[in-house]
């Protein structure tokens, strides 16, 4: 595939160059006052579904997560609450600043990674599988505690190189369609791709209840969707690229409100 693209690029050199020139000119970051959550692009009915906790199916996972928070697990026979107390106070604001730096692995870690570190290091329990209902429920419960707060990424300078890597990934062309994230989400947000509006790709409400999925899913699952959409090979679950991208995306969404659990079409 790389070879094909190379041939095509050589053959169409001047044309592609011109097209790139236009793309680069347009590829500016979205100005702060124009940043909008995916919520604003949804229909009125879907917005109502997200707003009303008795209508929002994501709340089913939040309730499940609350139960799991108090359930003892592993050889350590500890529950989350045994160390962290009530999540309503101890977890407030956590999702608004994550991913954060993990001293032990010397890498940034996202919320689900942190939950699994807690399981293996403290509860001495096996890590929960990516996209398992238990992991989604716990992360949804923790992130829900920050609902309504402004996204304020962790200023830890050790995160900067990873965030920069995320920024590079965001602007890097990928897959058979040879698009970067920025081509859709910086340059063409608000327009339509097929029947759907292209949002600005702000991770404000993860894990989200996506109608297309008929269930709750993580940001990693959503990023895989986009990678498959541009016909790229998605990174495996828990690949460092996802956390780097999340670091950059959260920085890009700075100031927007945490909505977990968000509803999306």
Question: Catalytic residue positions?
Answer: 226
116: left (phi over 0), alpha (psi -120 to 50) or beta: alpha
Neighbour-count burial for 196-221, b at 16+ CB within 10 Å, e otherwise: eebbbbbbbbbbbbbeeeebbbbbbb
The CA angle 236-241-246, to the nearest 5 degrees, is: 115
If one asks whether residue 260 binds other proteins (CB under 8 A), the answer comes out as no
C-alpha 217: how far from chain center: 10
- Whether cis (ω within 30° of 0) applies to the bond prior to 135 is no
If one asks whether residue 57 binds other proteins (CB under 8 A), the answer comes out as yes
Strands 215-217 and 208-210: antiparallel
If one asks whether residue 129 binds other proteins (CB under 8 A), the answer comes out as no
Could you say which of 80, 95, 125, 137 contacts other proteins (CB under 8 A)? 137
If one asks whether residue 186 binds other proteins (CB under 8 A), the answer comes out as no
# residues contacting other proteins (CB under 8 A): 13
Provide the 10 A C-beta neighbour count for residue 55: 12
Least distance between other proteins and beta carbon 132 (Å): 11
List phi, psi (to 5°) of 68. Answer: -65, -35
Beta bridge partners of 193: 196
If one asks whether residue 215 binds other proteins (CB under 8 A), the answer comes out as yes
Least distance between other proteins and beta carbon 115 (Å): 17
If one asks whether residue 207 binds other proteins (CB under 8 A), the answer comes out as no
If one asks whether residue 44 binds other proteins (CB under 8 A), the answer comes out as no
Stretch that binds other proteins, among 25-33, 49-57, 110-118, 161-169 (CB under 8 A): 49-57
Neighbour-count burial for 129-167, b at 16+ CB within 10 Å, e otherwise: ebbebbbbbbbbbbbbbbbeeebebbeeeebeebbebbb
Pick the closer one to other proteins by CB: 47 or 133.
133
Least distance between other proteins and beta carbon 137 (Å): 7
If one asks whether residue 214 binds other proteins (CB under 8 A), the answer comes out as yes
Query: Which residues, in sequence order, are CB contacts of 3 under 8 Å at separation 6+?
Result: none
Stretch that binds other proteins, among 1-9, 28-36, 53-61, 73-81 (CB under 8 A): 53-61
If one asks whether residue 22 binds other proteins (CB under 8 A), the answer comes out as no
If one asks whether residue 2 binds other proteins (CB under 8 A), the answer comes out as no
Least distance between other proteins and beta carbon 128 (Å): 14
Pick the closer one to other proteins by CB: 64 or 246.
64
Beta bridge partners of 174: 179
The contact set with other proteins (CB under 8 A) reads 54-55, 57, 59-61, 63-64, 133, 137, 211, 214-215
């Amino acid at each position: 595939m790389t070879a094909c693209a190379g041939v095509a690029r050589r053959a169409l050199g001047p044309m592609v160059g011109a097209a790139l020139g236009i793309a680069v000119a347009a590829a500016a970051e979205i100005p702060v006052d124009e940043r909008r959550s995916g919520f604003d692009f949804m229909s009125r009915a879907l917005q109502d579904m997200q707003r009303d906790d008795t209508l929002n199916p994501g709340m089913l996972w939040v309730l499940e997560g609350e139960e799991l928070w108090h359930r003892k697990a592993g050889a350590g026979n500890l529950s989350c609450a045994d160390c962290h107390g009530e999540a309503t106070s101890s977890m407030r604001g956590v999702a608004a600043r994550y991913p954060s730096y993990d001293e032990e692995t010397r890498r940034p870690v996202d919320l689900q990674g942190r939950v699994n570190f807690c399981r293996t290091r403290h509860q001495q329990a096996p890590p929960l599988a990516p996209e398992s209902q238990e992991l989604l429920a716990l992360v949804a419960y923790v992130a829900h505690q920050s609902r309504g707060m402004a996204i304020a990424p962790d200023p830890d300078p050790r995160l900067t190189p990873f965030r920069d890597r995320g920024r590079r990934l965001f602007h890097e062309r990928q897959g058979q369609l040879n698009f970067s994230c920025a081509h859709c989400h910086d340059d063409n947000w608000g327009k339509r791709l097929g029947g759907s509006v292209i949002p600005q790709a702000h991770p404000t409400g993860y894990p989200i209840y996506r109608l297309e999925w008929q269930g709750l899913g993580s940001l990693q699952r959503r990023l895989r969707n986009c990678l498959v959409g541009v016909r790229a090979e998605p990174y495996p679950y828990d690949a460092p690229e996802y956390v780097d991208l999340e670091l950059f995306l959260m920085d890009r969404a700075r100031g927007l409100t945490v909505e977990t659990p968000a509803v999306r079409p």
